[in-house]
Structure 1
Amino acid sequence: MENLKYLSSKQALFDLAVFRQWYQESLNLKRNRTGAENAWFVFGVSYSGALSAWFRLKFPHLTCGSLASSAVVLAVYNYTDYDKQVGESAGPECKAVLQEITELVDRSLETNKKELKKQFGAAELDIDGDFFYFLADAAVVAFQYGHPDALCTPLVDTKKAGMDLVAAYAKYVKEYFVGTFGVSVETYNQKHLKNTAVNEGSSDRLWWFQVCTEVAYFQVAPSNDTVRSSKIDTIPLRSLQECLWRRHLPRG
């Protein structure tokens, strides 16, 4: 656990600088030359995009330029615009269906919680906030990674046919989000994230640690016209912070 103090963007930048110098020296040694400097260009997407921009600013003498695509350079605590963009990307028809599913799930969770979570293959998510976040992310990936039809087409067709929307969404979640996209339900389980044992699932905690300590971008529901459940606010996310920050953030 003491090594988590090294998990920061600042440390990553210095690690990259050291690697850059080491590899340049290795190239020079391999090619039997001294003091030569190749042109280095850094690039990345999302978090690595931010690192590429910051690397250029921090070490301008080590790189000739950078490409920061969709870079998370501005930390936003309550990132409600994320959900708004999901609604815009979905379009009016699909957005309305997703909102209806959210309402149905919210109501069903109050009366049939155990069976509902089982229907989505997420029975292990005892904490409702974890379950809500899991369902919200399931819809998001279809738009963020360029496959809106995988989500919208079956849901809109189900709506037009007057069939069970929750069942249709559960099918999408299990077959596409978990099956095709490869997401593990366990990564949304705070109980799993509290496990400090080193094993193949240990890396699940690392990004959440940086989210809680540095990056933010908590994808909470906007105050109105939300696609995700309005119950996704900073309250369950504070619980996650409690899990990762206060329990595991090294002092000093």
Structure 2
Amino acid sequence: MTLSRWLMMILFIDFASSGRVLWKIKARVREAQEQRAQGQAAMLGVSAVQLLEGLIQQPLQHFNRKNAKTFPQRFFVNEAHWNRPHGPVFLYIGGEGLLSKFSVLAGHHVSMAGQHGALLVALEHRFYGQSIIPGGLETQDLEHLSSQEALADLAAFHQHISQKYNLTCRNVWISFGGSYAGALSAWFRGKFPHLVYGAVASSAPVQAKLDFSAYNLVVGHSLRDESVGGSEKCVKAVRESFALLEAALLGGNETQVGKDFRCCETPKSPEDQAELLQSVADIFMGTVQYNEEVGPLTITRICDIMTEDQAEGEEAYHRLVKLSENYRSMEKKSCLEVSWAKTIQYFNQTTDESFGYRQWFYQTCTEFGFYQTCEDSSCLFSHMRTLQTQTQLCLLLFNISQHTLPANIDFTNQYYGGDQPQTHRVLYVNGDIDPWMTLSIVRNGTGEDKHRAVLIRGSAHCADMNPLRSSDRTSLKQARKEIEGCVSAWLKSAAQEYRD
């Protein structure tokens, strides 16, 4: 096979095999956060006995009342902190995955609920977790999956809870969400300002972006940041290691590479080699995105691995191998999965899967983009990860032409306002090493939006939402105080308005 033919094949299938390690890291973070949340809930004396889990039958199509079909949407309620009958309501918005009961039992918003006597409610996102239409996740079903429908679900849920608990306008609603759900929190306030008085949007990518090359640019900056354990030496080693790995694959040494990285199967095909390249890159991407939330892997740790023994002349390639060993040890895996065929099979699952990989990729095709490319010189990883390869997968999986994506993304930004939202009482919270911050709001506005942004030094993705830890950075502790002050000010303002 010629080199040009090899490159064409690897470019075509690259994104089909990307992201699985990153999503596994995300799952590990979520598991760790749930364990911490469980501990916090136990410490506060809050138990599942005080928890209500229920279902609301939602219209499959809010904007087409001729369609009478419905689906069951799961929600949680925690009344333990509620100061009846006029206490506020804190709404936790579910995102692209299974909604946990700890969404109303622990976390920073739960701590604030205790301070303000708030009723805690949470709604799972349609087509994720257990809130999936009977019949699975076929493409024709996914046509009913959108952020617009999700916001309409929230509005219907607001009515359901209001009726169930006899709420009035004196019960002030504040919404909370992180990542995609953070964007939903901001958009819910923007589209339904009569329902939610204020919104906290943590790590919220409110600007849709087709070519999200800035993601890996921030990864590079964060790996260079000495305050979180990075260094220029680390960045140089990472760049060198990927050049050597790619050269080994191009040079026909895939059998040795497979042994070095303990691949579950020898990456002989271009597809499997692309899977390997992306999986190793994901270790860096996931560690940066969730720094200090991923267990033993942190920016400090991976940079130590990538720079140790450098004086003795050990190749960066072998340090990359060692990092992969550390990742497999963390995941308790005997080998690294690099099968492109298994990844495609994973994408095409149409039965209930709690993590929502297929559904989320559908939303990237129809609404958001967010394709984390690596084509420019600033990217530290394999430059074979292009925009074209990723958008072609929309056609392969869902019959969505790549030529329609720019219009889909333009509509999203026009509909919500992109990075110029004309809303107030929305607080955007971001960590400055989080790659997603570039699609959020990180600067304060004017007038009523003078204090709309909190940027946390040395903090990563959605860290402010987690249960408090004594080991949290001072900047993170201070940010939580700012959030608390903002929420308190909203509630005081609302109380004054209703008295007047």
Give the TM-score category using the shorter length.
Answer: 0.7 to 0.9
Secondary structure, in 3 states, of the residue corresponding to 1:62? coil
Note if 1:97 corresponds to 2:237. yes
**Relative to 1, partners in 2 of residues 1:55 and 1:121: Cα closer, same or farther, differing over 3 Å?**
farther
Q: Which of 177, 180, 203 lines up with 1:70 in the alignment? A: 203
Q: 1:166 maps to which residue?
A: 317
Contact 2:349–2:358 (CA<8 Å) still a contact in 1? Answer: no
Q: Which of 157, 179, 186 lines up with 1:46 in the alignment? A: 179
**Relative to 1, partners in 2 of residues 1:153 and 1:68: Cα closer, same or farther, differing over 3 Å?**
same
Q: C-alpha deviations, 1:152-194, integer Å up to 9, x for none?
A: 1111114334334334323323533783599x95898542244
* Distance in 2 (alpha carbons) for counterparts of 1:54 and 1:199: 27
Q: Which amino acid aligns with 1:116?
A: V
* Distance in 1 (alpha carbons) for counterparts of 2:159 and 2:339: 35
Query: TM-score under structure 1 normalisation?
Result: 0.82
Aligned residues: 242
Q: RMSD in angstroms over aligned alpha carbons?
A: 3.0
Contact 1:190–1:240 (CA<8 Å) still a contact in 2? Answer: no
Equivalent residues in 2 for 1:137-176 (5 A)?
137-146=282-291, 147-176=298-327
More helix by share: 1
Q: 2:191 maps to which residue?
A: 58
Note if 1:17 corresponds to 2:168. no
**Relative to 1, partners in 2 of residues 1:142 and 1:35: Cα closer, same or farther, differing over 3 Å?**
closer
Q: Which amino acid aligns with 1:96?
A: K
Secondary structure, in 3 states, of the residue corresponding to 2:388? helix
More strand by share: 2
Equivalent residues in 2 for 1:80-159 (5 A)?
80-91=213-224, 92-110=232-250, 111-117=252-258, 119-123=260-264, 127=271, 128-146=273-291, 147-159=298-310
**Relative to 1, partners in 2 of residues 1:173 and 1:209: Cα closer, same or farther, differing over 3 Å?**
farther
Q: Which of 142, 150, 153 lines up with 1:4 in the alignment? A: 142
Q: 2:371 maps to which residue?
A: 218
Secondary structure, in 3 states, of the residue corresponding to 2:200? strand
Q: Which amino acid aligns with 1:20?
A: H
Q: Which amino acid aligns with 1:192?
A: Q
Q: Which amino acid aligns with 1:143?
A: V
**Relative to 1, partners in 2 of residues 1:158 and 1:26: Cα closer, same or farther, differing over 3 Å?**
farther
Q: 1:209 maps to which residue?
A: 362
Contact 2:275–2:339 (CA<8 Å) still a contact in 1? Answer: no
* Distance in 2 (alpha carbons) for counterparts of 1:232 and 1:196: 24
* Distance in 1 (alpha carbons) for counterparts of 2:147 and 2:258: 36
Q: 2:495 maps to which residue?
A: none
Q: Which amino acid aligns with 2:220?
A: G
* Distance in 2 (alpha carbons) for counterparts of 1:27 and 1:67: 24
Contact 2:348–2:397 (CA<8 Å) still a contact in 1? Answer: no
**Relative to 1, partners in 2 of residues 1:55 and 1:112: Cα closer, same or farther, differing over 3 Å?**
same
* Distance in 1 (alpha carbons) for counterparts of 2:332 and 2:300: 14
Q: Which amino acid aligns with 1:106?
A: E
Equivalent residues in 2 for 1:221-232 (5 A)?
221-232=374-385
**Relative to 1, partners in 2 of residues 1:37 and 1:119: Cα closer, same or farther, differing over 3 Å?**
farther
Q: Which amino acid aligns with 1:72?
A: P
After the TM superposition, which parts of structure 1 deviate over 6 Å for at least 4 consecutive aligned residues? Answer: none
**Relative to 1, partners in 2 of residues 1:21 and 1:214: Cα closer, same or farther, differing over 3 Å?**
same
Query: TM-score under structure 2 normalisation?
Result: 0.44
* Distance in 2 (alpha carbons) for counterparts of 1:44 and 1:187: 34
Secondary structure, in 3 states, of the residue corresponding to 2:323? helix
* Distance in 2 (alpha carbons) for counterparts of 1:113 and 1:203: 32
Contact 1:83–1:222 (CA<8 Å) still a contact in 2? Answer: no
Q: C-alpha deviations, 1:74-98, integer Å up to 9, x for none?
A: 1111111111111111111111011
CA offset at residue 207 of structure 1? 1.4
Q: Which amino acid aligns with 1:57?
A: G
* Greater RCO, CA 8 A, separation 6+: 1
* Distance in 2 (alpha carbons) for counterparts of 1:94 and 1:243: 37
Contact 2:174–2:196 (CA<8 Å) still a contact in 1? Answer: yes
Contact 2:375–2:384 (CA<8 Å) still a contact in 1? Answer: no
Contact 1:97–1:155 (CA<8 Å) still a contact in 2? Answer: yes
- Structure 1: segments with no counterpart, 5+ residues: 29-33
Secondary structure, in 3 states, of the residue corresponding to 2:234? helix
Task: Point out the structure with max Rg over C-alpha.
Answer: 2
Q: Which of 14, 27, 46 lines up with 2:165 in the alignment? A: 27
Q: Which amino acid aligns with 1:109?
A: L
Alignment identity in percent? 29
Contact 2:238–2:316 (CA<8 Å) still a contact in 1? Answer: no
* Distance in 1 (alpha carbons) for counterparts of 2:216 and 2:388: 17
Equivalent residues in 2 for 1:230-249 (5 A)?
230-246=383-399
